[in-house]
Structure formats: C-alpha cells, structure tokens
Amino acid sequence: MELVRSGRGRSTQADRSARSRNALLESAARGLSRYGYGNLVLEQVASDAGYTRGALYHQFKDKQELTLAVVEWTLKTWEQEVDPLVEKESEPVAALLALARGHAIFCRRDVARVAVAL
C-alpha cells in the first residue's frame, strides 16, 4: 500500500487509520483462527495488534462488526490476488489450474485469514 504523506513528511490521519484498521483485522483473524468467535477477547485483539481497546472500538463497534470486517477483508484480499491469475487465462482448464495455484499460495501464506473465511 502506498502512503500519501502530508507536506511535512508525516503520514495523514487517513493513513494512520488504515494502518491501525489493517493491524486490528490481522490480529482479529489470528484470534478467530486460534480461539473461535465465542472465545475471542477484543482487548486481546487490540493488545496483540499494538493498539488500545479504544482504538479498536473507534474502528469497530463490537465483535460482530469486527468479525464481519475480517471476512470481507479476507475475501477482498483473495479476490485481489487470485482473480488476476484466473482472468489472464483464456482456456478453462488453465484458468482452473491458475485458480487452484493462486488459492493454494494464498492459503499457505495466510492460514489465519483462510480459517476465518471458512
């Protein structure tokens, strides 16, 4: 992700908000994968991401909203990474193989997010 910087070389509020949101989503994905929805503790999600509980609640109103955001984030990331591999193939078999390869790479690299999406 390319950061847009203010004139003084500092990141903007939008940049900081996006970074904190992504860190919280990654932490929540790991927590959901390890502990499941019922045992996920939002304070721990925030702490593991390096943020306060207040920062988490600034981004997400509750556990349900955070969990839905993790699922949406996972799907969006998967589509951004796998769809281009499939779209460049003109033959159905090659497209299916590209889909399988892209999915396998995504799953190996990001097990926590995939577990949440399942």
Q: Looking up tokens 């998967």, which residue turns up?
A: 78
Homologous superfamily assigned to 13-117 = Tetracycline Repressor, domain 2 (1.10.357.10)
Query: Distance (Å, rounded) from C-alpha 12 to C-alpha 27?
Result: 23
pLDDT in tens, the chain (118 residues): 444 444 556 789 988 999 999 999 999 999 998 999 999 999 999 999 999 999 999 999 999 999 999 999 989 989 999 999 999 999 999 999 999 999 898 888 876 666 665 5
Kindly list the domain boundaries of the chain, sorted by start residue: 13-117
pTM of the predicted structure, to 2 decimals: 0.75
Query: Distance (Å, rounded) from C-alpha 108 to C-alpha 39?
Result: 25
Query: Distance (Å, rounded) from C-alpha 79 to C-alpha 90?
Result: 18
Query: Distance (Å, rounded) from C-alpha 14 to C-alpha 44?
Result: 24
DSSP H helix total and E strand total for the chain: 6, 0
Local structure of 112: helix, strand or coil:
helix
pLDDT of residue 2: 43
Instruction: Classify residue 87 by burial, with Cβ atoms within 10 Å: 0-12, 13-18, 19+.
Output: exposed
pLDDT of residue 110: 72
pLDDT of residue 107: 83
